[in-house]
Amino acid sequence: MGGVGKMSWWNAFITANLIGIGANFDNCGVGIAYGSQKIKFPHRVNAVVNGVGFCTAFLGAYAGKLISHYFTAEQAGWASCIALACIGLFFWYSGYVHPRISRHTGKVKIQTRPNWKQGALLGLALSFTNVVSAFGGTVSNATTIWTTTAVISMWGYIMIWFGNLIGVGVFARLLGKYSSLVAGFLLILVGVHQVLG
């Protein structure tokens, strides 16, 4: 009996962290964008971004937990799979399809160090994935509300910091180029795990 409890805890831990990492690859891209312009992303602004992300992740997780009471375990697994897979597909679309069909080809140049107001706006812009990923994590009862919310926020902070840290060089271009692919793959993989696992 103890082994089953440990295994379910471990499964929830891995699931929550994969959701947290997958939901925050866009944060890494933001860090890379600032780092590549040699602009240090302040820790206090990163905290504002992820404070907003925490609130939106909580809303998504809470909605997922509420809805989970009205679904069977199988239906909840499918709802989670669909939500996470849609976010994964959205990452692939925005990273690879949209740039090819968009008429706007110029790059946006970042010129100033972000302040707390820009951090709040950036937090809102990055929050869509937090809401849906947190919903996907809790609707199937794979993780708790607080675990999902905390892990998404923690990885959000780490990914902006990490992206900013490596923002210069070949590795940044490589990670930036494939971040949508990796994020989409992780979220779809977690979604499929919700149905099969």
What does the alpha-carbon distance between residue 44 and residue 49 come to, in Å, rounded to a whole number?
A: 9
61 has pLDDT over 50: yes
Q: Which residues constitute the domain of residue 170?
A: 24-32+42-99+122-196
Please state the length of the chain: 197
Q: Containing H/E element for 138?
A: helix 127-139
Residue 66 resides in a domain: yes
* pLDDT band, residue 108 (cuts 50/70/90): low
The angle subtended at Cα 138 by Cα 132 and Cα 144, nearest 5°, is: 130
Residue 18 resides in a domain: no
Residue 161 resides in a domain: yes
| b/e burial code for range 14-43 (CB count within 10 A of at least 16 → b) | ebbbbbbbbbbbbbbbbbbbbbbeebebbe
Q: What is the model's pLDDT at position 51?
A: 96
pLDDT tens per residue across span 138-196: 887 778 899 999 999 999 999 999 988 887 665 666 666 777 777 778 778 777 876 77
Residue 145 resides in a domain: yes
DSSP state letter for 95: I
Q: Do residues 44 and 161 touch, judged by C-beta distance below 8 A?
A: no
pLDDT tens per residue across span 120-133: 988 888 887 788 88
Structurally, the chain folds into a number of domains equal to: 1
Residue 151 resides in a domain: yes
CB count in 10 Å sphere of residue 13? 13
DSSP state letter for 71: S
In the structure encoding, which two tokens stand for residue 52, read together? 């907003």
